[in-house]
Structure 1
């Protein structure tokens, strides 16, 4: 299990997390080791251009939503360099990136998932 899988498990359990992903696939939106904030998300509210913590074909990514197929309950995930990772269903979308280095991302606040006050059963990142 990688670091992103651990973060995905925490977000799926209802936590907002901060971490510093590495890599260059999301430049200039996210540069390697910038601090990102990821919160639970309502996948039905996602739009192309949102940055999500998601599992596609067995790998967890912090990547862009490049297309939405709402009737099928799925999103297409891509990096910021044109590489399409594939489609995944809403159950595998764990969170939305709400800030990068403390700067809020646009159009994210109304997409956050508001969980009940009682403890919920966390989703597994492998769902």
Structure 2
């Protein structure tokens, strides 16, 4: 399976409004003390949590909205669909 983001590709990340996240979004999230880009595989809005996974189907676990710092808005300058609508406005 081809990765969504390959090593050394330039990504653009912006602060995110976690209430607007959807399955399939790529987010910058802190898990077990390290910050990574992860794919959202499930949401639980009532508890304010997202399930994060890799693109190979492995589920990494659940994390709360407070640990989701940003959303990937572009990869190598190519915009990610519907990501700019989820950027947190000041």
CA root-mean-square deviation: 1.3
**Pairing of 1:5-16 with structure 2 (within 5 A):** none
Q: Give the Å deviation of 1:83.
A: 1.4
1:66-99 Cα distance to aligned partner (Å, 9 max, x none): 1000000000000111111110000000000000
TM-score normalised to structure 1 length: 0.67
Which structure ranks higher in relative contact order (CA pairs < 8 Å, sequence separation ≥ 6)? 2
- 1:46 — aligned with what? 21
SS at match of 1:44: helix
More helix as a share of residues = 1
Q: Give the Å deviation of 1:57.
A: 2.9
SS at match of 2:23: coil
Unaligned runs of 5+ in 1: 1-25, 116-127
8 Å contact from structure 1 (residues 57, 86) kept in 2: no
- 2:68 — aligned with what? 93
CA distance in 2, matches of 1:75, 1:110: 18
CA distance in 2, matches of 1:27, 1:70: 30
Residue 113 (1) aligns with residue 88 (2): yes
Residue 62 (1) aligns with residue 22 (2): no
